[in-house]
Amino acid sequence: MIKPYYKDKWVTIYNGDCREILPELEVTDVIITDPIWPNTTIKLAGSERPYSLFREFCSRIPKTTKRLIIQLGCDSDPRFLRTIPSWLPYLRSCSLEYTIPSYKGNVLNTGDFAFVFGQAPQWQKDRQLMPGICRSNYVEKLFQKHNFTHHIHERRAPAAKEVIDSLPHPCTRRLQHLYWLVHFFSDIQVVDPFMGSGTTLIAAKYLNRKAIGIEIEEKYCGLAVKRLSQEVFDLGL
């Protein structure tokens, strides 16, 4: 078994290829991940062949996985997901808005989508109503500033005291969105095989889930450990 790059009571990080490490892990609950997108323009490991990377990842998902959540851009082709095994049936999709509507060329951009596969989560008192759209507090303010009147129920998430756009990873996701996905779709454990800067693990740790991350680039493992050690959360903005 491969040695972890980092381990504490809640979090384990492996530096390596998820196609080799994932089959070795005991996945008892949920995989939440943001793989290399099919329409990526960013240079990252695997960005020259996202389809085969994702297909090979899918073929190595442990059968004990209850749920799989894949984050893609709203302009990413969801047919990318067709190699997800049939024992993880489609459950639902969630819109993860992080920008006011704006055009990327001729395509309207509003943020990302999370596609959920596998077993439905168990009923729990504080997660009866699953919001269809998840906006961060920051985005909600932008909507107000620009006089968008369409307000949607959402669970407020803690805002980390960090400016993600200044992090040295090119595609760090919104912590608020990961907080929401972890809260609604996991119970005890979250595994992120394309961990990047560790956003999923930070949300999982905050919500008292055991978290495992796998990342092929050592520099991003170091970044995730640094972010996890800061542990500064603020329940407001």
Ligand X SMILES: C[S@@+](CC[C@H](N)C(=O)[O-])C[C@H]1O[C@@H](n2cnc3c(N)ncnc32)[C@H](O)[C@@H]1O
Q: Which residues bind ligand X (CB under 6 A)?
A: 17-19, 34, 36, 44-46, 53, 169, 171-173, 193-194, 196-197, 199, 214-217, 220
Q: How far is the CB of 168 from ligand X (least distance, A)?
A: 10
Task: State the Rg of the chain over Cα.
Answer: 17
Closest chain position to ligand X (CB)? 196
67 vs 173, which CB is nearer to ligand X? 173
118 vs 213, which CB is nearer to ligand X? 213
Beta bridge partners of residue 133, listed in sequence order: 95
Cα(157)–Cα(175) distance, integer angstroms = 8
Q: Taking a C-beta distance cutoff of 8 angstroms, is the pair 40, 47 a contact?
A: yes
* Beta-strand pair 159-160/233-234: antiparallel
Cα(97)–Cα(187) distance, integer angstroms = 24
Q: How far is the CB of 128 from ligand X (least distance, A)?
A: 28
CA distances from 157 to 143, 198, 235 (A): 17, 17, 7
H/E/C letters for each residue in 153-178? Answer: CCCCCCEECCCHHHCCCCCCCCHHHH
88 vs 202, which CB is nearer to ligand X? 202
136 vs 199, which CB is nearer to ligand X? 199
Q: How far is the CB of 198 from ligand X (least distance, A)?
A: 6
Q: How far is the CB of 134 from ligand X (least distance, A)?
A: 15
Q: How far is the CB of 222 from ligand X (least distance, A)?
A: 12
8 vs 48, which CB is nearer to ligand X? 48
